[in-house]
Structure formats: structure tokens, C-alpha cells
Amino acid sequence: MQHLWTVRVAGALAGLANGLFGGGGGMVFLPILSRRGDLSQRQLYATCVGVIFPVCLLSAAVYLLRGGVALTAALPYLAGGLLGGWLGGMLYGKVPTVWLRRIFAGFLFYAGVKYLL
């Protein structure tokens, strides 16, 4: 029972991060899910996407209802984002996991530096 409570609190914190920052919940979910130890690296990334997808949908719905979404600004990115998501999914099994970790770490480092500046 303690484990279930811990998992739910961790999920709530990841959802909170996603809602506050407009994304980023996946960066919280990844280390949480990695503690399970029974997921391969590929399963870890895929499970993270599967968990964060509904969380992002909910955050987007709340933003939309509260008038925080600038649809005209967001729409031009949607086609490229969908294409990139499809391409990433297709390449997913072909990229070595060591490179997935490096690319993810590089992205986090780049994003962190951009936020600080």
C-alpha cells in the first residue's frame, strides 16, 4: 500500500510540473519510472510517453478553457510537431539506447541553459 501511495504522489508532482510549466512532466516521470527497475530503456521511454500523453491533454484543456492558449501562434508548430513525433516513433527502435540517453541529456542541458539566460 505504501508503494501505491508513493507512486501516486510522484505522479501528482509530475502532473503539477507539467501544468505549471506547460510541459516537462515527462522529465519528472522518466526518473520516477526508472526506479522500478523492471523496464528496459526502450520500455522506459515509451511508458513515459504513454503516461505523459493524457497528462498533457488535461493540461492543454485547462489552458484552453482558461484562455491561456494562443491557437494562432500554436497551429503552425502542430504540423511539424506531429511529423516529428511520427518520425521519432518510427526511428525509436533503430536508435541505440546509449544515444537516446545522450540526446535526452543534451536536450535537458540545452533547455536548462536557455531558461537560465
Burial 32-60 (b: 16+ CB within 10 A, else e): bbeeeeeeeeeebbebbbebbeebbeebb
Interval 89-103 mean pLDDT: 88
pLDDT at 11 over 90: no
Regarding whether 62 and 15 lie in a shared domain, the answer is yes
The verdict on 1 and 58 lying in the same domain is yes
In the chain, the amino acid numbered 67 is: G
What total of structural domains would you count in the chain?
Answer: 2
Nearest to 3 by CA among 31, 32, 28, 25: 32
* Beta carbons of 48 and 30 less than 8 angstroms apart: yes
User: How many C-beta atoms surround the C-beta of residue 116 within 10 A?
Assistant: 6
Are residue 90 and residue 108 in the same domain, yes or no? yes
**Distance from the Cα of residue 97 to its chain's centroid:** 17
Range of the domain at 75: 70-117
Ranges of H-type helices in the chain: 2-21, 25-34, 41-65, 71-91, 97-116
Instruction: Assess whether pLDDT exceeds 60 at residue 1.
Output: no
Both 46 and 20 in one domain: the answer is yes
Q: Are residues 52 and 98 in the same domain?
A: no
| Same-domain check for residues 63 and 97 | no
pLDDT tier at 31, thresholds 50, 70, 90: confident
If asked whether residues 21 and 50 sit together in one domain, one would say yes
**Mean pLDDT of the region 62-88:** 89
Sign for the pseudo-dihedral over CA of 29, 35, 38, 40: positive
Q: Are 56 and 19 in a shared domain?
A: yes
Q: Does one domain contain both 25 and 44?
A: yes
Task: Please state the rounded mean pLDDT for residues 63-69.
Answer: 87
Q: Does pTM surpass 0.85?
A: no
| Mean pLDDT for all residues in the chain | 85
Residue 86 has pLDDT above 80, yes or no: yes
Q: What is the pLDDT of residue 110?
A: 92
Confidence of residue 2 (pLDDT cuts 50, 70, 90): low
